[in-house]
Amino acid sequence: MGVVTALTRMADRNPAVPETGYHRSWYPLCLTGDLASGAVIGRDVLGTRVVAWRDADGRPVVQVAWCPHLGADLSIGEVVEGRLRCAYHHWSFDGQGACAHIPSGDRIPDAARLFTYPAAEQWGLVWMFNGERPDFPLPRIPGAQPDTIDYAAHARGERPWETWVAVSNGVDFQHLRTLHGLPAASLPETLEVDAGGIEFRVESPYHLQHGRITGTNSFAQHLRLGGRDMFQLFTGAPVAPGRSSGFFVVGVPKGESARLPEVQAMVDRLNAEDAPVLSTIRFRRGLLTASDRHLAHYFRYVDAFPTFRAPA
């Protein structure tokens, strides 16, 4: 093996990507408003870097950011004639990842392709699926459709924790009372596991909590407290082991948008109460007791969740 090849192989061993890859799930990349038509943005996610832009129909395209020619970061490139053009030698790539043009006129190598992640927009966020094809639909918010609620999406920036650990909060019913002081919190009978998610419903004369985990990185809930409905979605994407970027969506029934600040204040409080624990926890599956049975169920679900590693 030549010295250059050996050095390249060493550089390929990226410790930010676990050997098995990351879970095959939908990950939030940015707010819809961050991706203007004609813009090219780069994001560090899943131990690599991706580039996002919009095709001629305005649909988001998410691709590995490293140009297959010499590895330039395509996020400093430009969208030209509906294709992503590398800043360095102007190779151009289409929305499916094929290299469509090399200005030198050389033959386009067969391997000149960008891995292209399935991408979509929903709840004010641009999403990418970690796989060749989505295994399941985008995260749902129980009791809500995009046209039946008024909602607002927010970015929380980078946090020092794993997304799947944060999402365990959604089925950690004890902490709702102990950490968050929610008196109405009670334990559902069962968790329903379906393709790509876990769902539960707890209802009493005083409250409703209808929760859903999608993948291992999104938790959404419909809450009814004091007869008032609210909708929340907490989601995040791994940046590298132990680090993630966070987003949340708050919603209220259509026409009640004046109540959005009230729902946001609740989410800000929940986030502020969880953050000191999540940012210092040395997570382990310790001594689980009977009240932790839903958490135990979730940990088994996470263990069995399929993973994917995009080609370098």
Interface with ligand FES by CB under 6 A: which residues? 67, 69-70, 72, 86, 88-89, 91
Query: Measured between alpha carbons, how far is 56 from 42 in angstroms, rounded to an integer?
Result: 19
Beta bridge partners of 307: 23
Provide the 8-state DSSP code for 40: -
Decide: helix, strand or coil at residue 133: coil
Residue 274 contacts which entry, Fe ion, ligand FES, none (Cβ below 5-8 A, type-dependent): Fe ion
Q: Which helix (H) or strand (E) holds 261?
A: helix 260-278
Q: Which stretch binds Fe ion (CB under 5 A): 72-80, 167-175, 224-232, 250-258?
A: 167-175
Query: Measured between alpha carbons, how far is 183 from 59 in angstroms, rounded to an integer?
Result: 44
What DSSP string runs through 97-120?
A: SBEEE-TT-PPPPTT-B--EE-EE
Q: Which stretch binds Fe ion (CB under 5 A): 110-118, 169-177, 233-241, 275-283?
A: 169-177
Chosen residue from 63, 122, 169, 235 binding Fe ion by CB under 5 A:
169
Nearer to Fe ion, 116 or 169 (CB): 169
Query: Measured between alpha carbons, how far is 22 from 158 in angstroms, rounded to an integer?
Result: 17
- Side chain identity at residue 120, one-letter code: A
Residue 121 to residues 137, 139, 196, 229: CA-CA distances in angstroms?
A: 12, 11, 18, 24
Residue 67 contacts which entry, ligand FES, Fe ion, none (Cβ below 5-8 A, type-dependent): ligand FES
Nearer to ligand FES, 106 or 303 (CB): 106
Query: Measured between alpha carbons, how far is 190 from 199 in angstroms, rounded to an integer?
Result: 9
Angle at 41 between CA 60 and CA 16, to 5 degrees: 100
CB 70, min distance to ligand FES, A? 4
Residue 209 contacts which entry, Fe ion, ligand FES, none (Cβ below 5-8 A, type-dependent): none
CB 279, min distance to Fe ion, A? 13
Contact call for residue 232 and Fe ion (CB under 5 A): no
Nearer to ligand FES, 99 or 171 (CB): 99
Nearer to ligand FES, 91 or 151 (CB): 91
Binding to Fe ion (CB under 5 A) within 259-298 occurs at 274
CB 121, min distance to ligand FES, A? 27
Query: Measured between alpha carbons, how far is 49 from 42 in angstroms, rounded to an integer?
Result: 7
Closest CA to 220 of 206, 238, 207, 235: 235
Nearer to Fe ion, 229 or 274 (CB): 274
Closest CA to 233 of 243, 222, 242: 222
Nearer to ligand FES, 69 or 259 (CB): 69
CB 83, min distance to ligand FES, A? 12
CB 260, min distance to ligand FES, A? 43
Residue 179 to residues 219, 255, 263, 285: CA-CA distances in angstroms?
A: 18, 32, 19, 19
CB 167, min distance to Fe ion, A? 10
Nearer to ligand FES, 109 or 181 (CB): 109
CB 98, min distance to ligand FES, A? 14
Interacting residues with Fe ion (CB under 5 A) = 169, 274
